[in-house]
Each structure stands twice: as structure tokens, then as C-alpha cells.
Amino acid sequence: MKTGVDIMTPTVIIGAVTDNRNTGYNPLSDISEEQTAWIGSMVYLFPPVGSVVASMVQDHFGSRQCMMLSNVTNLATIVILMFADTPEFLYNISALIGFNVGFVTSITISYSSEVCEPKLRGVLTSVINLSYFAGYLCVTMLYAITANWKLSVLITVAIPVANAVLLFKTPDSPMWLLSKGRIEEAKQTLRKLRGGASEENCIKEFQDMVHYTSKMDLNDLETGDTKTEKSTMKNSFYYLIEPETLKPLQMLVIIIFFTTLLSGIPFIPYLMSVFDTFGTPIHPAWAMTMHMAFGVSGNVLTIFLINRLGKRVLSLATMATCSVCFLCIGTIGNFCLPSPMYSWIQVILFFMSTFSSSMGIMPIMWVLMGEVYPMKTKNIGAGVSTAVYFIVCFVMTKLYRNLEVSAGFYNTFVLFGVSGLVGLTYLYYQLPETENRTLEEISEHFKRKSTKIDIQTG
């Protein structure tokens, strides 16, 4: 949830600059468009650094200890933000926030995919994505109520404090324990994660974990002999070019690009300006809060639909919906005269695109990052994928203003909508169904010479 707060913090700061409710002195009131672009995009530039660092330390320390460390840095950023009064100060703090976001996201993806049962993995990972949107909603609602961005951020200090308390009762991943030769501890942890199930009920899943982790070149796993691992970071990067890792990585890079476009990420730092352009009848701060509420609602629906419809159908349906919504917004803006009715239609379509993306393509993208890689490259694969996502976000948010000036505000929606239809075609032929499949079954799919989907069989 704190990750969602962090990502939305620059949006709230930028929105506060032009908010007519702020009648007092604001040291940031004179910042330029270029400076706001850097403030809004810097939070996406440094997550790749955090992701790479996470991939290097996670294998050694485990997800739990890494998440504990992240709470310390999260608290530090909140304290430092209270003293921010210049654009240069905000550049630096946005970079630190971005590092934290990448570090936490990469670890969370790996941990959730390892501890969840196959039939619940999609649902529970969607819950994680829901917590991000809850963070978005939390900080935007606080700002809409207080009209003070520093007070809004300060109140969120309760989140890392609560998270730190919960982590004391959070177990390490059984797969990580197996990789360290701690066999009995891994077995007990698995039983705990399955609600205190008996050893007989967990034996099949535990054996699958042993078989899966054995592919990491561990020695004497069954006897608990804790010899030094042969895998090094150099080997991990070498494994990235093997087909079973390279193919899902290529697929995810393409999915990340189209998902970022259609989920409205390029608009996020400038949401209040977007709603101003629409001519929203309500205050842009409250429109921004409603925007995030639709995101939360979409994520909640994902939890109930992902098992029933599967990731493939849900991804295709929501990507198509987002593309149509963007095309309609662009068409109305370009060809219809401004009026309250058309303003409402545009706002509703924008909310619908947010609802759809948060119900399908966005959470499913994060689920896939934890599913499609083999065990030996899972952590570094998740780290690289997360890094790619944030690099794409940085480029799109940084260049969005330039694109808007050169192409026009409503033409950007047309461009994104047409691009979404291209992405929809790619997903139709390349995205496999991973719901209710074990991690090993998913890995075997990408070992095949051709990963093109048989449309008749799905």
C-alpha cells in the first residue's frame, strides 16, 4: 500500500501547485512545466535500480528481511519530504522514493508467487495490486480533504509502521528455505502457510517444490546438506538468454509497453490538469480521487473473476475495452463542441478505462512476472521485468507533455487507443493461459520451440 502512496505523491505535489484552494504561500508555485515533468517522472526512473539491488540481495537475505529493511527507508522518505521546498529537493526525494518502489515491488512479486497455491496465486497476487491502488486512493483522498500535500503524506506514516509489525509474523518463502538447505524449516513453513494443514496434505506440494528448486543446481537437497551454491550472479545473468527465460521476458516487455499506455500511466502525474481539460464539473482533486476509487473497484473485481475467466480472457477483454474508451475520448474531443454533457461522457470513459485496466491487464501483468520464469531465474527475472516496467513508465511520463504539445491533447488518446488494438492482436496469439497451472507447467510451455497459442485449444 505504501508503494501506491509513493507513486502518487508526485501527482499530489504537482496538483497542489495549481490548486486554487491553496491560498497561502507556496514555495513551489513558480516551478516550470519542465520541472513538473521531472518531478512526475523521476519516481519511475530509479525503481530499476531498486529492482536490480533487490534481485542481488534477495537470494542471500530472503524476502522477509529485505521487506523489513524497506520499511526503514519508507519512513525516512516521509520525514525528508516534510522539508521539501525546492524543485531540486523534490528531484532527489523522488529518486529515493523510486528506489524504494522498485526494491519493494520486485521482492513482493517473487515472494507472492512462491508462497501461493497455484489455484490461488492469481487471486492473491491481485490482492497485492489492490493494495497499490488502495495507496493511490488513500493519498489522493487525503489531499482532496486537507488540500495540504505535506499533511497528506505525513498521515501515511501509519502504513510502514503497521507493515513492520506484521512482518514479524510473516514467514520466509519455503522455496527460499529449500534453496538454503533448510528442509525441515521449509516443510513446517509450508504447513503454516496452508493454514496448519497436516504433513500428508502438504507432501505433494512440498515434493513439487523440491523438484522445482532442484533445477537451481542445489546440492544434496534431500539430506539437508548446506553446501555453497554453485549459482552466482554471473550465472543468473547468463540464464537470462536461455529460451525458457528469454521468451517470457520478451513477451512481458511487449505486454508492459501496451499495459502502461492503456492504464493511463503517462497521464498520472498530470491528472488534475487532465480533468481540467475535460472540463470536469467537480473539483479536479475529487475527480482524481474518484479515478483512483474506480481503480480499486476494478482490482476488487479481479479477485472474483480471475479464477472463473482465466488471465487470458480477462486480459483480452480489458485491453479491448481500454482501447475503445481511449478512441472514443479522442474522437469526442476532436469532433464535438465542448459542453457539460460531453465533459461528463469523457470523464466516464476515462473512469471506465481505469476500471478496466485495473481489473485485467495491470494486475495480470504483475501476476505474470512472478509466474513465467523458471526457478533459477525467478528473482532476477522479476527484477528485470520490474525494471523494464518502470523505465517504460519514466519515458512515457517524461515525454507525455512533449507528445501532447506536438500531437494535441485528444490525439494522444487516439494514438494510445490505436496502439492498444495492436497490443490486443499480439496478446491474442502469444499470451498463454497460466491460471491453475503449476510454475513448472508454465516453465515447460516456454521451453517449447514455438510459444504461439493454438487458438482452437486456447
Looking only at Cα atoms, what is the longest distance across the chain?
Answer: 75
pLDDT at 104: 85
Between the CA of residue 221 and those of 69, 376, 379, what are the distances in Å?
A: 29, 15, 20
**Tens of pLDDT, residues 11-35:** 888 888 777 666 555 666 677 778 8
**Domain at 417, CATH number:** 1.20.1250.20
How far, in Å, CA of 360 to CA of 427, rounded? Answer: 13
Whether residue 458 lies inside any domain: the answer is no
**Tens of pLDDT, residues 288-326:** 899 989 988 998 888 888 888 888 999 999 999 999 999
pLDDT at 15: 81
**Tens of pLDDT, residues 173-231:** 887 788 777 888 888 888 777 777 777 777 777 777 777 666 554 444 344 444 444 44
Q: Which residue has the cell 467537480?
A: 282
**Tens of pLDDT, residues 42-91:** 888 888 888 778 877 877 787 788 888 888 888 888 888 888 878 888 88
Cβ-based burial of 140 (10 A; exposed 0-12, middle 13-18, buried ≥19): buried
Whether residue 364 lies inside any domain: the answer is yes
> Which cell numbers in the block locate residue 124?
492473491
pTM, full prediction: 0.75
Whether residue 453 lies inside any domain: the answer is no
- Number of structural domains found in the chain: 1
Least confident segment among 216-230, 236-250, 435-449: 216-230
Whether residue 177 lies inside any domain: the answer is yes
How far, in Å, CA of 54 to CA of 64, rounded? Answer: 12
Identify the sign of the CA torsion 70, 72, 73, 78. positive
Read off the pLDDT of each residue in 346-375 and give the average, rounded to a whole number.
89
pLDDT at 262: 93
Asked if 443 and 244 count as a contact pair (C-beta separation under 8 A), the reply is yes
Contacts 24+ apart (CB under 8 A), 75-78: 75/157, 75/160, 75/161, 77/6, 78/153, 78/154, 78/156, 78/157, 78/160
Cβ-based burial of 29 (10 A; exposed 0-12, middle 13-18, buried ≥19): exposed
Whether residue 43 lies inside any domain: the answer is yes
Whether residue 454 lies inside any domain: the answer is no
How far, in Å, CA of 283 to CA of 285, rounded? Answer: 5
Read off the pLDDT of each residue in 279-289 and give the average, rounded to a whole number.
87
Whether residue 452 lies inside any domain: the answer is no
φ/ψ (deg, to 5) at 83: -105, 5
Whether residue 165 lies inside any domain: the answer is yes
Q: Bigger pLDDT: 452 or 99? A: 99
Torsion of CA 177, 179, 183, 189, to 10 degrees: 30
Read off the pLDDT of each residue in 351-380 and give the average, rounded to a whole number.
85
Average pLDDT in the chain: 81
pLDDT at 223: 41
pLDDT at 121: 67
pLDDT at 457: 46
**Tens of pLDDT, residues 129-187:** 778 888 888 888 998 898 888 888 889 888 888 888 888 888 888 877 887 778 888 88
pLDDT at 179: 75
Beta carbons within 10 angstroms of residue 68's beta carbon: 15
Instruction: Note down the domain range covering 195.
Output: 2-447
Q: Bigger pLDDT: 110 or 350? A: 350
Q: Bigger pLDDT: 294 or 433? A: 294
Nearest to 443 by CA among 205, 229, 233, 211: 211
